[in-house]
Structure 1
Amino acid sequence: MRRNAVLLIASRAIRSLAFGYLTFIVPLYLKSIGFSAVIIGLYFLVATISSAILVLISGFLGDMIGRRDALIIMSSLFIISMVIFSITNNKVLLFLTSVFGTTTGSMGGGGAGGGPVTPLQTSLLADNTELNERTRIFSLTTSISLLSSLLGSLISYAILSLGFSDLVLFRISLVLSIISLMLLVLISRDKPRIKSLSINDILPRRSSKPITRIAIAGSLGSLGLGMVTPLLPLWFRLFLNASEIEINEVYTASYVVSIILTLMARRIEVFMGRVRAISILRSISVFLFIVMALMPVFMIDAVLYVIRVTLYTITIPLRQSLSMDLMDENERARGLSITGLARRVPYGLGSTIAGLLMNYAEFSLSMVLGGGIALLDPILYYIFFRHYDDRSSQV
């Protein structure tokens, strides 16, 4: 494995330590200091819109100045967010962290992805791997990231069990984000891909067809997932009467199972075909939201959630590898920015709808509707790219 790839994976692993608990700590913390479910939903809407704008900027910036330099710039935003969470409980300042777009997603099986660094990380990793090893490297990267998230979840479990406050966790996140940034500085600088600022050079024309199709499918999937995923910890806490530690245990279990099975992504790809695996596993994954809503018992929903996250996570390296194969090498960062924008705005809209429904004790309705809408994503993926498996099997 190339040195740059190792550094990228290490940086992501360090950052994932924090996201192992921020996924559920942030909404619970905001609730604990007086934010209503509607305001929390609005927080995620603003965060997702900001993330969408930053995602679009990051990919184009990466192809203009170099993907490594742009990644360093975008990673700095997470540090700013953690500084604010670490030093104050001022509601205005905390709400302002939403504009940095760095707290909207992690490895928790969401639909919006990991923020503005994602297009740059993925395209840089593709640049530093060979075509025949790409799925394996993406699978390994995802599993390592999940392992880090698991360790982060275990660390937070220990800290919460000892009676420490959420502020300790935010301060640990700050330290981790600084270390992650330092690793990125060691990566070799890459050349800009955009030669001029003309429209013909800026727009990713050679990859326009797959970008459009991925964006359409992803936008519907993220709208549905946004109606469930961001506020799911509150579903467990407020509707199913689970404690914060019990919720932590559920997320920890989802990481453990996902780490093991995601390493099998390459074998699943060979057995089922990349597109068929994505379509089938994600269909089952989002359908489980509907089942969870119809069976509102904590132990049952906890098990279903672990299965759901695992199935979703297995498809992440498959989907990343497919996107990299479909897009032109020099347009990958921009292509991922556009598809990321198409996912994040609907995700934020979905979280706002979820907040409103939760405020009226109708979150189960949001889960049913969200699951139904999210099913369109894997269905369209199969319709758009079903012939890809046939072509790849002939290579």
Structure 2
Amino acid sequence: MITKHAPDAESIDKSFKFLIYSRAFRSVGIIYMTLAMPLYLAVLGVSLLDIGFVVAGVMLFMVVETLLLGSFGDRYGYRRALRMAEILPAAGAFLIFYSTNIYVIIAAIVIAGIGGTAGGMRGGFSPGMTALVAINHPEEHVRVRKYGLLNAVGAGASIFGALLISLHGYLSTYIGALDAFRYIFLLAGILMLASFVSLMFLKEAEHPRKTTKMMKRSSLKYISKIIMVNSFAGIGIGIALPLLPLWLELMYHASTLDIGIIFGASYILTSLGSYLSSRISYGHDALNISSITRILNGVLLMAMALSPFILIAGIIYSLRSFNAGFGSPNRSAITMRGIDREDFGTASSIQGVSTRASQLSSAVSGYLMDISLPIPMEIGGAFQLASGVLYKYVLKGTKPSE
């Protein structure tokens, strides 16, 4: 067993608020770092192509980290895995603040995991979180509600991460663009430490003993289906979204203030979508919702590529964020639906690994932007649309586990 004295259901439920606090602190810090990363590297003179390769390096590092922490969580507890996942981003943020050496900065970006999309759910998830909610709350509709609340809080807190990127423009007039980025990275590191402290008070249900080195055959069969459909979405996200702040700057000559406003609005709608999903979780088919919302994610990305004005692009992206926020809690629940309890951590980490590995497509994002700015959105949207169609047909027939 993972713990000698298992906490009761009431104490587990009461401690859920500390996970919410953690996701709030984490979201502010991670969102700022994710939005700032491509802009900071561009100010340092790094080319579009090289920025794409840096993001790919981040994804590769996170593949290894996610897999190790998932397996670790199954054996030693998901709380510990969650706490370990907060240390590296904090260390990376402090390194970026203290160093002006480009190679040290890139290494810090990689170990901090500062890459991928800066969507509203970005800060809410880290290795071990999906598994911890699943082990603490066996009923699927309760899981959807909990995931929805975490998404809503994370997305709501992300607004402040967007405000920090807007604050950069103001600070730049006094201390210069580079130092403005660096000092806000310092604040982001402090917020990651606050997330770590919050997790110290989290309770965790007792686990079944791990009986396999990897996972049971039934769990492996189910997660393989999840991996297949999510890989299409991951490829699309990797192509379209990691360099989105820079895309907005190049496509519409957007300032950091413009970018902060767009992402701030998107986080408000992501939070609203997730909250709405948590309120109507009982009695609705999570699989249908997951499929439809992912199809719409793809359609809206392709629509962004056709937008002639930044206002229209911002509105489309915000609508996509609402849709993504509504669908994400359902997809998290679907991921755990066919998994044995002893495999929650490994299965969720393998799924996360596959998504991040497929996001290595970010290496070509900068190259495609060099060719034509609309292309990454068009190709990325097409992959997400395909994933939504596959979701329904590949996963139908799987019943929720209680």
| CA deviation after TM superposition for structure 1 residue 72, in Å | 1.9
Aligned partner of 2:42 among 26, 31, 35: 31
Aligned twin of 1:123: 131
Query: Do the aligned residues in 2 keep the contact of 1:50 with 1:101 (CA within 8 Å)?
Result: no
Aligned twin of 1:169: 184
Query: Do the aligned residues in 2 keep the contact of 1:66 with 1:190 (CA within 8 Å)?
Result: no
- Amino acid of the structure 2 residue aligned with 1:143: A
| CA deviation after TM superposition for structure 1 residue 159, in Å | 5.2
Deviation sequence 1:302-328 (CA, Å, 0-9, x none): 111111122112111111122223211
**Distance in structure 2 (CA, Å) of the matches to 1:153 and 1:323:** 29
User: Identity rate of aligned residues, in percent?
Assistant: 27
Aligned partner of 2:26 among 15, 32, 50: 15
Deviation sequence 1:49-84 (CA, Å, 0-9, x none): 110111111100111222222222222111111111
Aligned twin of 2:96: 85
**Distance in structure 1 (CA, Å) of the matches to 2:185 and 2:58:** 18
**Distance in structure 2 (CA, Å) of the matches to 1:341 and 1:98:** 18
Aligned pairs for 1:149-164 (under 5 A) are: 149-158=158-167, 160-163=169-172
Aligned partner of 1:311 among 305, 314, 323: 323
Deviation sequence 1:106-132 (CA, Å, 0-9, x none): 66168xx669x7230121122223514
Deviation sequence 1:255-278 (CA, Å, 0-9, x none): 112222321114555576211111
Query: Do the aligned residues in 2 keep the contact of 1:106 with 1:114 (CA within 8 Å)?
Result: no
Query: Do the aligned residues in 1 keep the contact of 2:31 with 2:123 (CA within 8 Å)?
Result: no
**Distance in structure 1 (CA, Å) of the matches to 2:246 and 2:302:** 17
Is residue 325 of structure 1 aligned with residue 329 of structure 2?
no
Q: Tell me which moved more, 153-162 or 379-388.
A: 153-162
**Distance in structure 2 (CA, Å) of the matches to 1:193 and 1:29:** 46
Gap regions ≥5 residues in structure 1 = none
Gap regions ≥5 residues in structure 2 = 1-11
Is residue 378 of structure 1 aligned with residue 393 of structure 2?
no
Aligned pairs for 1:343-354 (under 5 A) are: 343-348=355-360, 350-354=361-365
| CA deviation after TM superposition for structure 1 residue 351, in Å | 0.7
- Amino acid of the structure 1 residue aligned with 2:148: S
TM-score by length of 2: 0.88
**Distance in structure 2 (CA, Å) of the matches to 1:155 and 1:247:** 11
Is residue 65 of structure 1 aligned with residue 86 of structure 2?
no
**Distance in structure 1 (CA, Å) of the matches to 2:69 and 2:359:** 19
Deviation sequence 1:88-144 (CA, Å, 0-9, x none): 12110111124325212466168xx669x7230121122223514221111111101
**Distance in structure 1 (CA, Å) of the matches to 2:148 and 2:307:** 32
Query: Do the aligned residues in 1 keep the contact of 2:135 with 2:344 (CA within 8 Å)?
Result: no
**Distance in structure 1 (CA, Å) of the matches to 2:366 and 2:202:** 41
Change (3 A) 1:173 1:31: same
Aligned twin of 1:280: 292
Deviation sequence 1:321-348 (CA, Å, 0-9, x none): 2222321111111001111111111102
Aligned pairs for 1:1-395 (under 5 A) are: 2-100=13-111, 102-105=113-116, 108=119, 118-131=126-139, 132-158=141-167, 160-163=169-172, 165-188=180-203, 195=210, 200-266=212-278, 269=281, 273-348=285-360, 350-358=361-369, 360-388=370-398
- SS where residue 222 of structure 2 aligns? helix
- SS where residue 187 of structure 1 aligns? coil
Q: Tell me which moved more, 4-13 or 234-243.
A: 4-13
Aligned twin of 2:6: none
Change (3 A) 1:370 1:155: closer
**Distance in structure 1 (CA, Å) of the matches to 2:280 and 2:13:** 25
| CA deviation after TM superposition for structure 1 residue 192, in Å | 6.6
Shift >6 Å, 4+ stretches: none
Query: Do the aligned residues in 2 keep the contact of 1:38 with 1:355 (CA within 8 Å)?
Result: yes
- SS where residue 35 of structure 1 aligns? coil
Query: Do the aligned residues in 1 keep the contact of 2:18 with 2:201 (CA within 8 Å)?
Result: yes
Q: Tell me which moved more, 11-20 or 157-166.
A: 157-166
- Amino acid of the structure 2 residue aligned with 1:157: S
- SS where residue 227 of structure 1 aligns? helix
| Cα root mean square deviation, aligned | 2.4
| CA deviation after TM superposition for structure 1 residue 31, in Å | 0.7
Deviation sequence 1:198-257 (CA, Å, 0-9, x none): xx4433433122200110011111001110100111111012111111011000010112
**Distance in structure 2 (CA, Å) of the matches to 1:180 and 1:302:** 30
- SS where residue 307 of structure 1 aligns? helix
- Amino acid of the structure 2 residue aligned with 1:355: G
Change (3 A) 1:101 1:56: farther
The number of equivalent residue pairs is 383
Change (3 A) 1:362 1:66: same
TM-score by length of 1: 0.90
Q: Tell me which moved more, 167-176 or 262-271.
A: 262-271
**Distance in structure 1 (CA, Å) of the matches to 2:163 and 2:338:** 38
| CA deviation after TM superposition for structure 1 residue 38, in Å | 0.7
Change (3 A) 1:160 1:190: farther
